[in-house]
Structure formats: C-alpha cells, structure tokens
C-alpha cells in the first residue's frame, strides 16, 4: 500500500468558522457569516479529537488521527496517541465486516473520539471513559492511490473530497451500528442570526453536551452547521464568539 497516498487522500479538511475569522484580529470574528440558502442542520460539536477509519475495497482497514495513520489491520503494535486506536479498533473491525464486498471505493469514516482522560475536555463528558460519535463519511476512488502525493494534496485542498449527504450518512451509521453526533435542530438558513451577538445568543440554548457518558453533562464546544447535502458547512465555537464579544466590550 502507498501509505502516503492513503493518508493524504483521507485527511479531514478544516471546517471554516461560521463568521469569518479576522486574519488581523488574533482569533476574533468578523460580521461576515456563512450563507445557507436552504435548510440547515445543526449538530453538536463534541470537544475531543478527530479519528478516521479507512476501509479499502480489499477489506483492509486503517485507523488515523487527523494528521497521521496510527495502525492497520494485522498490526501488532500501534501508535497510542490520544487513545484513538484503542477506542476505534473494534469499530474498524466491525465496519470492515459490514461493508465487505459492498464498496468498490475507499470508504472513510470520520469520528470524534472524546471523554478520555488523555483529552483536555474529558471532564465535560463523564468519568474519563473514551467514547466516539460519527460525524462524516467520504468515499474516494481507489484509482487515486496511484496519484502523486502532491497531486492528491492539491485535489484535497481544492475541495475534491466527496462527503455523504445527510440521508446517506444516516444509512451508513445504521449499517455500521454507529451513533451520529447529536442533531440539535433543522431550520431555514434565513432564520440563523446574521450578526455575531445574535448568533452567540442563539447558540446558548445548545450549550450543554448531549453525549455525556456518565454523571452530570458538561459543556460542548459549539455547533456544526451543515446543508443536508453537505455542500456548505461551518462551525460556530463558543470560545470564538465569547472572545470576540469580550474584546468589543473592552474597547468601549
């Protein structure tokens, strides 16, 4: 296997902030929201770390973090970074079995691994037990494995990856017996507040996590906003809005 190609083909892209980040503002937001022209699905942004499960048409599976491949089927030694492999190995084995023979392309499952004591926000979710939620799925033509890494990187950075629309994502989650990140609401894009202050007030109703594994639920990281066909996606993080509004208050 060309591991460099597999890694590059399946990396998850950065999600843009819902209000554009000010390049001169040290993390502040601008009054320039992402435009949704139809329905918007709001999902919980769980505060953990990205993991990915890559299933090849042959049935071979690999597990990666956001940047690196950590292990593959048949490995007896794996990278222990952030507990991703320990959490996702059973999922990878099950997913490879469930989709065996059903896909001619590379299938990539993107999951948020959270709650582990190895992660900074673990106390928001329970007693330190690792858990996971599926948040996206992509398919990649297997023939692209022969591409040069530079060509793959250009393809990915220019939005070449194809992610599953909401109905397909739900079907694959059910097929692999995986829970999705919580669906918080579905509204028309025109009903989203356009200004920063209004958006922060809107978000407050969804401040608590829906995925605590035990104890009193803590706070989540924010909301991911996505069109049902996944053509538009953005993230609204509480820390970005709070930082921006605090700076405004300090400048008065």
* Residues 114, 135 contacting (CB under 8 angstroms): no
Decide if pLDDT at 100 tops 70: no
Helix (H) or strand (E) holding 156: helix 149-157
Strand order from edge to edge, sheet including 106-114: 69-72, 61-65, 49-55, 106-114, 131-140, 162-163
Percent of the chain with pLDDT over 70: 98
Question: The pTM is what?
Answer: 0.94
Contact partners, residue 42, CB within 8 Å, separation at least 6: 183, 184, 185, 186, 187, 206, 223, 224, 225
With 0-12 / 13-18 / 19 or more C-beta atoms within 10 angstroms meaning exposed / middle / buried, residue 191 is exposed
Decide if pLDDT at 233 tops 90: yes
The string of pLDDT tens digits covering residues 105-159 is: 999 999 999 999 999 999 999 999 999 999 999 999 999 999 999 999 999 989 9
Residue 96 has, within 13 A of its CA and on its CB side, a CA count of 20
Sign of CA dihedral 140, 237, 20, 82: negative
Q: From CA 198, how far away is CA 217, in angstroms rounded?
A: 25
Decide if pLDDT at 15 tops 80: yes
Q: From CA 66, how far away is CA 110, in angstroms rounded?
A: 9
Helix (H) or strand (E) holding 19: strand 19-21
The string of pLDDT tens digits covering residues 177-196 is: 999 999 999 999 999 999 99
The string of pLDDT tens digits covering residues 34-89 is: 999 999 999 999 999 999 999 998 889 999 999 999 999 999 888 888 899 999 99
pLDDT of the residue at 101: 64
Q: From CA 45, how far away is CA 30, in angstroms rounded?
A: 21
The string of pLDDT tens digits covering residues 237-249 is: 999 999 999 998 8
Mean pLDDT value of segment 222-232: 98
pLDDT bin (cut points 50, 70, 90) of residue 251 is: confident
Strand (E) positions, 66-182?
A: 69-72, 106-114, 131-140, 162-163
- DSSP lists the bridge partners of residue 138 as 108, 163
């Amino acid at each position: 296997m060309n591991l460099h190609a597999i890694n590059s083909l399946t990396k998850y892209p950065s999600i843009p902030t819902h209000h554009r980040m000010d390049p001169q503002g040290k993390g502040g937001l601008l009054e320039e929201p992402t435009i949704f022209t139809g329905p918007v699905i709001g999902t919980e942004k769980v505060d953990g770390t990205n993991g990915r499960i890559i299933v090849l048409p042959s049935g071979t599976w690999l597990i990666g973090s956001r940047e690196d491949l950590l292990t593959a089927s048949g490995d007896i030694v794996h990278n222990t970074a952030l507990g991703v492999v320990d959490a996702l190995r059973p999922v990878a084995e099950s997913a490879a079995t469930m989709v065996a023979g059903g896909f001619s392309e590379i299938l990539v499952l993107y999951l948020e691994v959270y709650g582990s004591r190895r992660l900074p926000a673990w106390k928001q979710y329970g007693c330190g037990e690792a858990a996971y939620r599926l948040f996206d799925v992509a398919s990649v033509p297997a023939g692209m494995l022969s591409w040069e890494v530079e060509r793959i990187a250009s393809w990915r950075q220019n939005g070449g990856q194809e992610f599953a629309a909401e109905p397909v994502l739900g079907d694959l989650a059910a097929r692999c017996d995986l829970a999705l990140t919580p669906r918080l609401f579905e509204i028309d894009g025109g009903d989203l507040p356009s200004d920063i202050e209004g958006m922060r007030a809107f978000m407050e109703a969804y401040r608590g996590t829906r995925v605590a594994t035990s104890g009193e639920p803590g706070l989540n990281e924010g909301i991911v906003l996505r069109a049902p066909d996944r053509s538009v996606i953005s993230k609204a993080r509480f820390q970005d809005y709070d930082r921006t509004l605090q700076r405004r208050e300090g400048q008065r």
